[in-house]
Amino acid sequence: MRVLAIESSCDESAVAVLDETQGLLAHELFSQVDLHRIYGGVVPELASRDHLRRLPGLLREAVAKAGGGLDAIDAVAYTAGPGLVGALLTGAGLACGLALARGIPALPVHHLEGHLLAPLLAETPPPLPHVALLVSGGHTMLIAVRALGDYELLGETRDDAAGEAFDKTAKLLGLPYPGGPELARLATRGRAGAFRFPRPMLDRPGLEFSFSGLKTAVSLAVREGELTETRRADIARGVEDAIVDTLVAKTLRAVDQTGLDDVVVAGGVGANATLRARLTAQLAARHARSYFPPLAFCTDNAAMIAVAGLARLTRGERATGRAITARAQWPLATLAPPAPPTPPTLDPQRKTATT
The mean pLDDT value of the chain amounts to 92
Chain segment 12-43, per-residue pLDDT in tens: 999 999 999 999 999 999 999 999 999 999 99
Whole-model pTM over 0.95: no
Q: Which helix (H) or strand (E) holds 264?
A: strand 262-266
What band does 320 get if pLDDT is binned at 50, 70 and 90? low
**CA 312 to each of CA 18, 55, 75, 274, 333: distance values in angstroms, whole numbers, following the listed order:** 13, 24, 11, 34, 17
Identify which of 43, 50, 104 has the alpha carbon closest to the alpha carbon of residue 73: 104
**SS3 call for 31:** strand
| Complete domains list, the chain, with CATH | 2-116+299-354 (3.30.420.40), 129-292 (3.30.420.40)
Partners of 345 in the β-ladder: 354
Cβ-count burial 225-246 (b if 16+ within 10 Å, e if not): eeeeeebbbbbbbbbbbbbbbb
> Dihedrals φ, ψ of 325, to 5°?
-105, 130
Identify which of 242, 301, 252, 302 has the alpha carbon closest to the alpha carbon of residue 272: 242
Q: Which helix (H) or strand (E) holds 331?
A: none
Inform me whether the pLDDT recorded for 204 exceeds 50: yes
Enumerate residues 6+ apart whose C-beta is below 8 A from 226.
Answer: none
CA–CA separation, 44 vs 238, rounded Å?
32
What band does 341 get if pLDDT is binned at 50, 70 and 90? low
Share of the chain above pLDDT 70, in %: 94
Chain segment 245-289, per-residue pLDDT in tens: 999 999 999 999 999 999 999 999 999 999 999 999 999 999 999
Chain segment 52-64, per-residue pLDDT in tens: 999 999 999 999 9
CA–CA separation, 217 vs 9, rounded Å?
31
pLDDT at 193: 94
Strands 130-136 and 262-266: what pairing?
parallel
> Dihedrals φ, ψ of 24, to 5°?
-75, 115
**Better-scored residue on pLDDT, 355 or 144:** 144
pLDDT at 342: 47
**SS3 call for 218:** helix
- The amino acid that residue 132 corresponds to is A
Across 2-17, average pLDDT: 98
pLDDT at 200: 84
> Dihedrals φ, ψ of 353, to 5°?
-80, 135
- Say how many Å lie between the first and final Cα of the chain, rounded: 15
**Better-scored residue on pLDDT, 322 or 50:** 50
CB of 216 within 8 A of CB of 191? no
